[in-house]
Structure 1
Amino acid sequence: MNKPVTPSLLKRKILLSVLIALPLLLFWSHESDLAYNLAQQRPILLGRYTEAYLGLLLLLSGAALAAWIFIWAPGLRKALQKQPLLYCFRLCSLLFSVLLCLFFADLAWRLQRQRYYKKSEADDFYSRMPNHVYEGDFQDKPAYPFSYPLAPPPAPPSHWRLSTDEHGFRNQQSLAKYDWLVVGDSFAEGSRVSDQETWVSLLQEQSGQSFYNAAVSGGSPLTYLRALQSMADKIPSDGVLYMLYEGNDFRASNYRRAAHAARLSPKRLKKYLQSSPVRGAVKSVFIQCFGTLGSRRFAHDSAVLEPAHRLYPLSWLPFQVNKEYGNHFSFDVKRLRDHYISEAEFLNDEGGKESLRLILEFKQECDRLGRRMILLYAPDKPHVLLPSIAEKLPEPQLHAFCKTRTGNWPPENQLYEKLLEGIETRENIVRRLCLQENIEFISLSPLLKEKIAAGEQSYFCYDQHWSKAGHQSVAEFLLKNPALQQ
């Protein structure tokens, strides 16, 4: 029989409950840095919190609930006090069973996911699965419900289809010999567009020349070299089109991953856990449950245009280049930060040095095979958009956007000057290298700047890749280029 609750005992229970509730309320009242996380294109949940912080809040709330039950349920407390080891064993067994199930589910999911790509033994060259068809629907809209406050309505969804040949690359015909072998990443393979809409397919159709597309999403200068070496005997060609995308190809992580693939390290373990498909599924459910709640908190609120507003640094995104045609573009602050770089910094950077070395090695391999090499330089969105942004956006507002990411940024009154210098740095270095090494060089930067200024949606608004219109423009430009007519 339970003892009666005395006034002093009741006061202690209330005091303990309040002491547990107050810190919890303090945590719930703290709002994440919305501008910082939105600038990195990270999800915001309940219109206030990052996924990690909301997860912590739910965990603390669960612990607080358990503590309150323990305080106000004397029967449960007595049972735990009588057999603490038994209940501890049951709890540990339950946790172990859950973790074991998650481990096997994650392993099975990873094995199933490997069917999308076929890797070589060296693990630095890969293709998609041979004779396979991938398809899906894509809508050019923000990745998460909580997004830019003044964003335009999303574009209607479109269906895409990607089919591979017997080698696992995106080709619809098989020939004994080709005029051109194409290497690159998703900008050469084509992302979010169908087979007949890629610039390689359009160029082949309109030029009368034959092209073998050996590009694959996620590639780097290292995999481009391996593609040439692996496909040289299988796919004879007269020349090679080498598409270099400045958005990803100069990253040092491309080469650290290959160099340390067999080494177990805390960073590699962390990356392995972050790439868990189970973690991704849980994150997706988490966002679906809590992402839409509060996502319209600042939608179409003109107050975000005031410098004092917390979302003022992002109120200009997506950036509208041409109001007459309404083409909009967005990008995360990291991609803009990549352009604040001097020539000396790039040449001393691990990723920059290795990329240039691999371009030279690729040229040597082409010379050995007797194949002509043309390098196509594909700029990222900030490179193409920054001149228009400098004309239309006040410098203090772009500076506020830049400051959402830590790092050394130029002073506000020198921001545009330094960034406009920086956007040409990497392209100029690659151009000079090509001139010195007798590599034909074609830049797509002037073309894309011209098309976007004229109102074309050359890139998707929220995705980094070229749209259907962008692929068409690149194909038409290359069709008229004398280098490909020779």
Structure 2
Amino acid sequence: MIDCKKIGRNLAFVLYLVCLIYIAIPVDVVSLAQKGRPLLLGFFSFERLGVCIFLLVLAMVYTYVVFGKQPAGKKLLQVTVGVSSLLVSLFFLHVFLALSKKPHYIIDDGFVRHLPNKKFYDRFIDVPDAKGIFSLKYAQTEYHSISVSFTTDQYGFRNIQEQSSYDMIAVGDSFTENAYVSDKEVWTHVLQEKTHLRIFNMSRGGAHPANYYYMAKKYIPIIRPKYLLCTIFEGNDFRKRSLRRKKKGSSTFTLSLKKSPLKSFAKEMATHYLAITDENLKNQYPSISWLPLEVSYQQKKHYYCFRKKDISRLCLKKADFAQSPGWLFVHQYLQKLHALCKEHHVELIVMLAPSKPRIVVPLVIKSMNMENLYNFIFDEKDISFSYFKEHLLELLNTPENQLRAFCEKSSIPFINLSKELQRETARGKKLYFTYDTHWTPEGNRVVAGIVAQYMQEKD
């Protein structure tokens, strides 16, 4: 005869043992820091903590069923009903919370965009993606909290007021849309005031070169501009993206349920109350001990953080980058965009938005421990340390050099932002947020000034 209680005891014991072993396995602190994620209680990532809690609860359920005074079958039924009720309640709570949030996006013509003719208000706080090792100098960020107004036009793009005609379309991702500054601080708006060019901002956070092409294909015949200014962000545009377009008519319900409010709440609570920020812990790991990066000018000190992928994506040799799927993807759609502009007698101008590490790392490279930086960037040592140390600046500039060469060969005007951004950063201006990837209000003003000077010299 099968001894159910003995089996239950053994199973509970195994679950407790697995939970203890899972806790005992060392967490990869460096990997969490590289991704900007929290270290909870000194042992856990968010996912590992979730698994441990699940195993522990399951073991406790088995313990209750096996060792309680009531018959095991009755207790098992009670537990099953209780757990099922809890899961159903959580699901409906999730649906209610998701749908009660006012949606900011719709799906139109296969692409996600903002609701048209709306004005949103929000508060942006420049904090790490997750409170943890990266946030040790958190109090020293200059842009702790910013009030942001965000206005959309009839098409759902970020334009304060509509014009009867436009001189320029500006297309790009979040570096052109700029969700983290207010309407009048976005570089396209500042550029419009400096030059009196009528600019249609046709950008969307999260977009990529294929989106730029398809949006231009739709809106160039409507807007009929003289110029199309396409901004390529080197941080993520040089990645091959999925071209699968959203189904037309996809509902707000689908968009609302995509992110779980309950999961977000759980992460926020775990991060706030359980994440550790121990300076001694950070110093145990040399490959991350240099973060946040300090850039000094006279009495000013600015701090910058970035994740591993923000800099590792730049560190490719010229030949490797030229054959990478990301570059071939950008190359393909810039060619299409160029042909489209020629067809409609629009002049295409390309501008590269440099990522934060490419601007700030060269400013402090002489004082950095290159071995720590090397170990932070690379898991698999495709590039030797000696080559990295000697050619780092060349590696960082590879994407820009490749894009500039393409533009020159294709007779496409190219705007270089990196030299001026680096010069102004060296002079003590805070052009990038400490933790976030994007340009600060001051950074937007500098970019607008560079583009304004280019357009004035061009005319």
Q: Alignment partner for residue 377 of structure 2, among 393, 402, 417?
A: 402
Structure 1 unaligned regions, length at least 5 = 1-10, 263-272
Within the candidate set 327, 333, 342, 1:367 is matched to 342
Residue 416 of structure 1: how far off its partner (Å): 2.9
| Residue of 174, 181, 189 corresponding to 2:177 | 189
- Asked if the contact 1:180–1:212 (Cα under 8 Å) also holds between the matched residues in 2, the reply is yes
User: Does the residue aligned with 1:182 lie in a helix, a strand or coil?
Assistant: strand
Counterpart of 2:291 in structure 1 is 317
CA apart distance, 1:470: 0.3
Give the Å deviation of 1:335: 1.7
Q: Contact between 1:340 and 1:418, CA under 8 Å: does it hold in 2?
A: no
Q: CA deviation at 1:216?
A: 1.5
TM-score using structure 2 length: 0.87
The answer as to whether partners of 1:43 and 1:287 remain within 8 angstroms in 2 is no
Q: Give yes or no for the alignment of 1:135 onto 2:115.
A: no
Q: For residues 199-232 of structure 1, give each alpha carbon's deviation from its aligned partner in whole angstroms, at most 9, with x where no partner exists.
A: 1111111222221111111111111112222112
> Shift in Å at residue 135 of structure 1?
1.7
Matched AA of 2:268: Q
Contact 1:187 1:465 survives alignment (8 Å): yes
TM superposition shift of 1:327: 1.2
Alignment of 1:43-122 (within 5 A): 43-77=38-72, 79=74, 87=77, 91=80, 95=84, 98=87, 102=91, 105-106=94-95, 109=98, 115-121=103-109
SS in 1 for 2:167: strand
Provide the rounded CA distance (Å) in 1 between the counterparts of 2:8 and 2:349. Answer: 77
Separation in 2 of the partners of 1:149 and 1:400?
Answer: 20
For 1:177, the equivalent position in structure 2 comes to: 165
Deviation at 1:25, TM superposition (A): 3.4
Report the TM-score, using the length of structure 1 for normalisation: 0.82
| Aligned with 1:392 (options 351, 364, 367) | 367
Q: Is 1:338 equivalent to 2:338 in the alignment? A: no
CA contact (8 A) 1:160 1:192 kept: yes
C-alpha distance in structure 1 between counterparts of 2:287 and 2:195, whole Å = 46
Aligned residues: 446
Are the aligned partners of 2:40 and 2:274 in contact in 1 as well (CA < 8 Å)? yes
SS of the aligned residue for 2:223 comes to: coil
Separation in 2, partners of 1:47, 1:281: 26
Q: Compare CA radii of gyration and give the structure with the larger one.
A: 1
**Distance of aligned partners of 1:282 and 1:31 in 2 relative to their CA distance in 1, 3 Å threshold:** farther
Say whether the 8 Å CA contact 2:38–2:275 is kept in structure 1: no
Could you list the per-position Cα deviations for residues 265-299 of structure 1 after superposition, in whole angstroms to 9, with x for gaps in the alignment?
Answer: xxxxxxxx9x984764233222333323453451x
SS at match of 2:447: helix
Alignment of structure 1 residues 237-276 onto 2, 5 Å: 237-252=225-240, 254=241, 256-258=242-244
The Cα of 1:46 is off from its aligned counterpart by 2.3
Preserved CA contact (<8 Å) 2:432 2:440: yes
Instruction: Please say if residues 174 and 203 of structure 2, whose CA atoms lie closer than 8 Å, have aligned partners that are also in contact.
Output: yes
Q: Provide Cα deviations, 1:69-123, integer angstroms capped at 9, x if missing partner.
A: 234313243645xxx7xx29x827963883597279559937977x4233333x2
* 2:133 aligns with one of 147, 167, 182: 147
**In the alignment, what sits opposite 1:354?**
329
Query: Is the Cα contact below 8 Å between 1:198 and 1:471 reproduced in 2?
Result: yes
> What secondary structure is seen at the aligned counterpart in 2 of 1:118?
strand
Deviation, 1:187, is: 0.8
How far apart, CA to CA, are the structure 2 residues paired with 1:20 and 1:344? 51
Hey, what's the Cα distance between the residues in 2 that align with 1:181 and 1:417? 41
Change (3 A) 1:215 1:419: same
C-alpha RMSD of matched pairs (Å): 3.2
Kindly state the Cα deviation for residue 175 of structure 1 after the two structures are TM-superposed. 2.1
Kindly tell me: are residues 15 and 92 of structure 1, through their superposed partners in 2, closer, same or farther at Cα, counting changes over 3 Å? closer
**Alignment-mate amino acid for residue 315 of structure 1:** S
Amino acid at match of 1:34: V
* Rounded Cα–Cα distance in structure 2 between residues aligned with 1:380 and 1:95: 48
Tell me by how many angstroms 1:440 deviates: 0.5
Q: Deviations over 1:400-443 (max 9, x none)?
A: 3224xx33342333323343222221211111111111110111
Could you tell me which of 322, 329, 334 is aligned with 2:304?
329
